[in-house]
Structure 1
Amino acid sequence: MPEGPELHLASLYVNKMCDGMVFGGTVIKSEVSKCPEVAFTCDSYRITATSRGKEVKLTLTPMKSDDDGNRRSKGGQADQHMDIVFRFGMSGYFRFTSEEEVPKHAHLRFYTKEKPRRVLSFVDTRRFGSWQPNGTWQPDRGPCIMFEYKSFRENVLSHLSDRAFDRPICEVLLNQKYFNGIGNYLRAEILYRLNIPPFVCARDVLEGLQLEDEFENGKPVKDEIADTKTPERAKKKAIKREAGDVLRLCHTVPLEVVNLGGKGYDPEKMDYSAFEAWLRCYYVDGMKSVWDHNGRTMWFKGDPGPMAPKDSKSPKIKKRAKKDDDHDYTDKKKVAKSMKESTTKKRVVKKEPPPKENPPHPKEVVSKRRKAEKTQEETQQSETKSTARRKKSNSVEPAAGKERRSGRVTRKNSK
């Protein structure tokens, strides 16, 4: 998921690619996107970008015509700029291409006036990202960890009594109300460098920090703490005394990613080798991983800490699958895909055996067996009785018949 550094690099990318470019016409939204339409139409405008934590703002600024500075466009917006605030979700990024090379997951497109036209696109394969026309920075998000450091630090330390800080430090670091820009890989790298167990109380880690950071006066960043195998009470004291400045690393570690430059965020080449080499903990061989209380994977080394989830298990790490065409949303491929799926389903139905019933309870099996044995026994007894009756009837009934006949004959003779 893109985090603070990636969104800032995205804004730098937009400013670099759109520098000197003149855009015009209507902003186009894809049919499948559920995000709002961008009601902006202008003959000529420019695009600039800024970032704040996990948000990027595009500013569309109309250009005044040389013939008539007060002339308005068809949409009546020639004198009005528009801010569009983007949140990248799981897979959002910007891409600047020719009109023929627009990615198929480009859900918002800005066209240049030149010929052949070029396009700035907001690309989002998984469609978890969003944008807000005439938007502003979300009020529930705190100051940016990178570019509003003093405000960020003050916001955290002045709210330590908040119940949010009762939680483990690894989970609090994802709270955008206080740590706007921190995500999953950044929290792992920050805590690993300070050797802080991820599941210790956040308040214990942050309580001893000062409002003013001495780092600004040239003091080097502390990058380690005491051994985490000490007893629990001593461990808490060690965390408060030796933990280094977590807030400082929330500021400096993201800036390291930014300083990787385009190699950290390069939508043209998609080369992340420098970023992967920079990682020390996140997704690194030899590190441990467990799910936190929110179901997010936490990477760490050593003891997880006293607040780790009970019976927490390490999630299975899946290999990254190759990209396929499952997310093509054109009408032709929709029909072709649906026809293919329906044909496949029919074939599968023919070949599939009938569904198996749920296995019976062992008591039911025993009772059925006893009933069957009892029925079989009763059947055998009834067959034996019927056989005996037939034999008896075959041997007794003829003699009785003779006696009856002889009795009749005797009576007739006596008459």
Structure 2
Amino acid sequence: MRGVFPGLGFVLQPFHLFHPQKMPEGPELHLATLYVNKVCDGVVFTGPIIKSEVSKCPEVPFTCEAYRITAASRGKEVKLTLTPIKSDDHKKGTSTGQADQPMEVFFRFGMSGYFSLTAEDEIPKHAHLRFYTKEKPCRVLSFVDTRRFGSWHPNGTWQPERGPCVMFEYKTFRENVVSHLSDRVFDRPICEVLLNQKYFNGIGNYLRAEILYRLNIPPFVPARTVLEGLETEDYCENEKPVNKPIAGKKTSDKAKKKVVKGEASDLLRMCHTVPLEVVNLGGKGYSPAKADYSGFVAWLQCYSVDGMKSVQDHNGRTIWFKGDPGPLAPKESKSPRVKRLKKENDQDHTYKKKKGAKSHPESTMKKKVTKKETPKKAKDERQREAGPKRRTKMTREASTPRTRKRREAEPTAGSLRRSRRIAK
């Protein structure tokens, strides 16, 4: 099921973990609300909300003969509002056990959550919460979560420990960060602070890489160094954000200092505009059914892009970057990807070197392998076989003089006769 959203000029697909290498972040959750609001516009839902048996999330105690569903997002959370449709029968109280007040259900998508509206006989395999329409044939709005890291909370609220949304609460988001720069959390590297949802609600792993790369900020510099000097109000909000440096052009030390101090760029503004760029990509390059990620892949400049470096931060999350990582980088953190590429290059170099030799590379390799793969047991057996032979030879040599001594000591026949005559 999909719907055309004229206001944004793209086709909405069922919201999914659009790119297999990343988790849903602020832009993806907002696209999920656009999808739900479009496909549920004018649709009436009915009956109880069904939870799968395997899900450990709570039941949603909401039953209504007729209700509507709307959605909203805030950072990395989505809220579904279930609103009963009041009728004359409902006012008279003829229906018992029916909800008469709206209910809000809050969702966190985890690693693989998404919404999908399908026919009743086409419900996805991992649909863990289902809302049924009143029409015939019936359709179902499902919250699908393959890995089951997502969750929902009926009658909940936005999580209080999460800060304002970087996309749609920009003013309060800036105020929240600037007014707390004295907190100890800003002593940490900027790449790690950007994942702190108390201050950067909606920013995730791929967004932090893209934001820091575009501003040419090393990921492991102290966050306070990058953010100090920024104002609570963005007076240049309508100006075009600073893009990444031109390829092949070296940045001077003076320019780098300006970037770090925020004189030539505004990190908080980029945390607002870069996620909106992903929203503007819309469903055009994000079709789970066709597995077409070309639009998103073309948009990426740093995250998981060939030629970029990657290391694990102090929390075990991989950060992609270019150039110097910064003074607070983990000393022993190495990227498996970098190791693998280096290993492959070494093998290629060895082969090329052998190729120039007189002997055939394959025969040389076979000889080496044969020599290397000689079992240790075979060597030991050969030593044991050779050992007794050496000992036998030595025994013969050593036993010869002892035999001569015995023979010299033994009396001859003549001497025995003489001794007998003398005795007589």
When normalised by structure 1's length, the TM-score is 0.73
- Distance of 1:129 and 1:224 partners within structure 2: 34
Contact 2:259/2:265 (<8 A) preserved? no
When residues 313 and 173 of structure 1 are mapped into structure 2, their CA distance, relative to the original with a 3 A threshold, is same
Residues 121-140 of structure 1: pairs in structure 2 closer than 5 A: 121-140=142-161
Mapped pair 1:43 → 2:73: no
Mapped pair 1:168 → 2:189: yes
Q: CA deviation at 1:273?
A: 1.9
When residues 137 and 228 of structure 1 are mapped into structure 2, their CA distance, relative to the original with a 3 A threshold, is farther
Residues 1-400 of structure 1: pairs in structure 2 closer than 5 A: 1-69=23-91, 70-73=93-96, 76-216=97-237, 219-224=238-243, 235-236=256-257, 238-263=259-284, 265-267=286-288, 269-316=290-337
Residue identity in the other structure for 1:58? L
Contact 1:258/1:264 (<8 A) preserved? no
Deviations 1:225-256 (A, max 9, x none): 8888766x995565105450000011111111
Matching residue of 1:349? none
- Distance of 2:331 and 2:250 partners within structure 1: 20
Contact 2:39/2:117 (<8 A) preserved? yes
When normalised by structure 2's length, the TM-score is 0.72
Q: CA deviation at 1:224?
A: 4.7
When residues 43 and 288 of structure 1 are mapped into structure 2, their CA distance, relative to the original with a 3 A threshold, is same
- Distance of 2:94 and 2:81 partners within structure 1: 21
Contact 1:7/1:54 (<8 A) preserved? yes
- Distance of 1:112 and 1:271 partners within structure 2: 30
Matching residue of 1:401? none
Residue identity in the other structure for 1:115? K
| Residue aligned with 1:97, SS | strand
Gapped regions of structure 1 (runs ≥ 5): 319-415
Q: CA deviation at 1:196?
A: 0.8
| Residue aligned with 1:255, SS | helix
**What is the alpha-carbon root mean square deviation over aligned residues?**
3.9
| Residue aligned with 1:56, SS | strand
Q: CA deviation at 1:2?
A: 0.2
- Distance of 1:139 and 1:265 partners within structure 2: 31
Contact 1:197/1:228 (<8 A) preserved? no
% identical equivalent positions: 77
- Distance of 1:253 and 1:225 partners within structure 2: 13
Q: CA deviation at 1:166?
A: 0.5
When residues 172 and 101 of structure 1 are mapped into structure 2, their CA distance, relative to the original with a 3 A threshold, is same
- Distance of 2:159 and 2:337 partners within structure 1: 35
Residue identity in the other structure for 1:19? D
| Residue aligned with 2:283, SS | helix
Matched pairs, number: 358
Q: CA deviation at 1:266?
A: 4.3
